[in-house]
Structure 1
Amino acid sequence: MSPRILIIGATGVIGKPITAEILAAKSSFDRVAVLTSSNTIKTKTDEVKALKEQGVDVLEGDLTVESDVKRAYEGIDTVVSCVGRGAILTQLDLIKWASETPSVTHFFPSEFGTDIEHNAASPNEKPHQLKLQVRKYAKTVPKDKLHFTYLVTGPYSDGFFGNSGKDEMGTFDVKAKRAVLLATGNEKVALIAMADVGKLVVACIQQPLESQDKILIVNSFTATPNEILAEFEKQTGAKWTVSYVSLEDLKKFETQAWESGAPYATAMTLRRIWTEGGTLYNKPRDNGLVGDPEMETLADQVRQAIEKQTK
């Protein structure tokens, strides 16, 4: 029997591209369903309609209500959680209820992003705390009840290549032909296109024995800010104005952001982690474990960033 998939958070930031790739491979699956709130159904009518038109079972329910979730789990074997940072801890119950549902055998926590166990400092990083709680709880679930796959992707190039609007966080401003690079600009960052996150989720679902009970380190490409800038200049045919934010200043801005309760404090910390090498590893990426699906390139992502900023 082919996989029967339930997506939670299908209309969110990373949920959309993951859902799109699952639907692109829909012929490989017996069923694709999404669990979404009544508010989403009311406020995102066009998106919900589009899902239904593509053959998705749209299930209305509250992901914090056991009866709603367990009803959605009926007949499902694979759960893909795409919840955002504000809902990370809801996964504690989602995992518990999945482990109590006989048909559910495989759970993908919403881990997409920076590795929360990359090095000795990782457990102390503020943005990692909620995901660490989820991993800790998942380890208590017997493997005969539920298998897990964690996809550690690094930062999304779709956002990294954008105009952040805050110079201290780094930026690539296509219209102004201006870039602000962090540290020296020569620090490598492993990046992933959001569409590629979806491709890798699909590859894992299609090859469960290769991916279950593993933390997979995956990405699309690795580049330095200077290399990214060079590609922007190449594709725009212009020399850009460039300035830099030192790592020391970045840390100061990060501290100030947390002390002032700024909404971008988490993003500041993540930028510092990436700049310090928190997406790099002394081993090949794990894309090959699940068939090495074709990934987007630096040039692809720069072209899309230019198109997005010049619409």
Structure 2
Amino acid sequence: MSSERSRILVIGSTGHIGKHIVSASAKLGHPTFALVRQSTASDPSKAAVLESFATSGISPLYGDLDDHESLVKAIKQVDIVISAVGSLQLANQIKIIDAIKEAGNVKRFLPSEFGLDVERVADVELLEQVAACLVPKREIRQVIRAAGIPYTIISNNYFAGCTLPHLVQIAPPTDKVVIFGDGNPKGVFLAEEDIGMFTIKAADDPRTLNKIVYARPPGNIYSHNELVAIWEKKTGKTLERVFLSEEDVLKTIKEAPVGPHPYGLILGIKYMVLMKGACLGFEIDPSVGAEATELYPEMLVYVYLGAHGTRLPKVSDMKMPIPQPWRRGRGQAVVEGRGSMATSGKPAHGGGSEPGKGNLEECQGFSNSNFPRRIRSLSTQLATFLRCCSYKSTPRLSFLPPSLSPALVTLPLNQSRFRESRIFY
């Protein structure tokens, strides 16, 4: 590959996975462009995301899937096009393909996938609720190949940030946990930021040309039973297991409404992964695909403490209560970590150097009164707070809301050393 970095355009850049792909592209030094609709640019809910793009040096290109001319104009400025559009827009990727064909300069196209390998899911059409999402992905693959467009497909299965905070349920379990089947088939649970990194690394890699990249880090492969066991170990509370039969699950899926984000689709994916083992039930054919961690062994990914016996460095323990300004609403939050304070004596973001004395200007709005719905948001805010306090540690955050047992999360702030030691719950 040339030493000059490929220019990358991300379509769907403000969505759940799109923003992680854009961030990874910028971090890896690519000239990065985000296709932005005019309506998005004026949307207050997207303002923070767009501001973060500008801060990271990401350039907006204004365009729309329904505006062919704007698409072609944007695509002519880049080498690689990555689609991260949501399920409502999957079929509309044909418009991206048409624009790529007219532009004539694209070296690689990555369609919106980031889940199961749709060509290996048997009888997907039998479940209408799942077919509404997976069939368009399969059809887009066929169109890309027929057009002769160079491509790479990313298959990673579960977004860990969406599933592990509540143990693959709608909300974290309190006394009971619902398990699909016998709970033994395994899935892959990968942090969204790592999916973004794998995507960008594969985007211009000659080894991934016209292939599927499967992200299967060994430390991220878990059965539902294993996830429950880790949860119980971390909370110190045994959960009553409620096992669902395949017949009951299929009945519920088929009775659910069909749509882009329905309950039936969510259940259908769980059924395929946690009951049928669709994520891992095959060997990777080298002529068709490659495994991401084998391609990029230098990349550290987030894995989850417990079943794989990850160990933290043997350094001094410390425990720090969250300062009073952060205790809004009910419940408590306590940080436990292993590490040491920054040796410089100065916090990364101003303020004092003692625990709990950092500058809180960037750390507003901490509240665990609505736990667990905003646990990821709270985790992000706490990470910011700890940076303010100059921690060089791998802290463990314990949320103690009134109605739930403690849920633990490890937030490695020195990611170059501790990134392999994070847990999402």
- TM-score scaled by structure 1? 0.86
Cα contact 1:161–1:171 (8 A) shared by 2: no
Structure number with greater Rg is 2
Q: Does the Cα contact within 8 Å between 2:80 and 2:107 map onto a contact in 1?
A: yes
Does the alignment pair 1:190 with 2:188? yes
Matched, 1:50 2:63: no
- CA distance in 2 between partners of 1:24 and 1:61 (Å): 24
What is the Cα deviation at residue 197 of structure 1? 1.0
Q: 1:87 to 1:17 in 2, by over 3 A?
A: same
Aligned runs of 1:7-18 on 2, under 5 Å? 7-18=10-21
The aligned amino acid for 2:134 is H
Return the alpha-carbon distance in structure 2 between the equivalents of residues 54 and 260 of structure 1: 35
| Residue number among 209, 212, 216 corresponding to 1:212 in the alignment | 209
**For residues 259 and 162 of structure 2, what CA distance do their matches in structure 1 show?**
24
Partner Cα separation in structure 2 for residue 288 and residue 186 of structure 1: 24
* 2:160 maps to 1:157: yes
- Counterpart CA distance in 1 for 2:189 and 2:181 is 17
Aligned residue for 1:81?
A: 83
Deviation for aligned residue 1:260: 10
Name the CA shift for 1:74/1:261 in 2 (closer, same or farther; >3 Å): closer
- 1:114 matched to 2:116? The reply is yes
Work out which of the residue numbers 144, 151, 155 in structure 2 matches 1:138. Answer: 144
Aligned partner of residue 81 in structure 2, secondary structure? strand
SS at match of 2:256: helix
Q: Counterparts of 1:160 and 1:246 in 2: how far apart (Å)?
A: 21
Letter in 2 for 1:94: I
Cα distance, 1:286 vs structure 2: 0.7
- What secondary structure does 2:42 align onto? helix
Relative to structure 1, the CA distance from residue 178 to residue 22 in structure 2 (aligned partners, 3 Å threshold; closer, same or farther) is farther
Q: How far does residue 124 in structure 1 lie from its aligned partner after superposition?
A: 5.1
Aligned to 1:223: 222
Deviations 1:159-203 (A, max 9, x none): 232448xxxx845615x2542211111222233222221111122
Aligned twin of 1:92: 94
Q: Could you tell me how far apart the structure 2 residues matched to 1:294 and 1:262 are?
A: 32
Is the aligned partner of 1:2 residue 2:5? yes
Paired residues for 1:155-304 under 5 Å: 155-163=158-166, 170=169, 173=172, 176=174, 178-205=176-203, 207-220=204-217, 221-258=220-257, 263-274=262-273, 275-283=275-283, 286-292=291-297, 293-299=299-305
1:261 Cα deviation from its structure 2 partner: 10
Count residues in correspondence. 295
Deviation at 1:268, TM superposition (A): 1.8
Higher helix share: 1
Does 1:23 find its partner at 2:13? no
Rounded Cα–Cα distance in structure 1 between residues aligned with 2:72 and 2:243: 51
C-alpha change, 1:23 and 1:241, in structure 2 (3 Å) is farther
Superposition CA RMSD, Å: 2.6
Contact 2:88 2:260 in 1 (8 A): no
Letter of the structure 1 residue corresponding to residue 33 of structure 2:
A
Secondary structure of the 2:135 match is helix
TM-score normalised by L of structure 2: 0.64
- More displaced 10-residue stretch of structure 1: 270-279 or 77-86: 270-279
* Uncovered stretches (5+) of structure 1, i.e. residues with no partner: none
Q: Paired residue for 1:101?
A: 103
Percent identical residues: 22
SS of 1:118's partner is: coil
CA distance in structure 2 between the partners assigned to 1:129 and 1:82 by the alignment: 16
Q: Which amino acid aligns with 1:290?
A: L
Structure 1 residues 9 and 260: alpha-carbon distance in aligned structure 2, compared to 1, 3 A threshold:
closer
Return 82-91 or 42-51, whichever deviates more. Answer: 42-51
Do the aligned residues in 1 keep the contact of 2:9 with 2:78 (CA within 8 Å)? yes
Q: Distance in 2 between matches of 1:231 and 1:21?
A: 29
Deviation (angstroms), 1:153: 0.9
For residues 83 and 261 of structure 2, the distance between their equivalents in structure 1, rounded to whole angstroms, comes to: 27
